[in-house]
Amino acid sequence: MVLKSLPSLHIELILLSISVIGIEPGTEQYEIGDVNGDGSITVIDALLCSNYILGLFELQPQEFLAADADGNNIINIFDVLLVSDLSGQDI
């Protein structure tokens, strides 16, 4: 009996995430890092980014744009660190 080897099959699963943010005309402008929109960037804004990453709450479109400090359309630990730096306060 002759055994033939089967070609190996390589399957790669790629997950993509797309964020679509829509802001109505006339909506207030936002400042990068000022996630809660109170006019100042503080550690509270960095904490809000962290809580979003952990899935504790959702951000409104304007808050999402303010939290995306590096502009890559994803809120991650790098945004938390950037917002923290912008606040000038230690976490």
Alpha-carbon torsion (47, 74, 65, 58), positive or negative: negative
Q: Kindly tell me if the per-residue pLDDT of 3 is higher than 90.
A: no
Tokens of 19: 């964020």
Residue 24: the pLDDT is: 62
pTM, two decimal places: 0.69
Distance CA 46, CA 10 (A): 41
Burial of residue 47 (number of CB atoms within 10 Å: 0-12, 13-18, 19+): middle
Residue 41: the pLDDT is: 96
Determine contact, residues 52/75, Cβ cutoff 8 Å.
yes
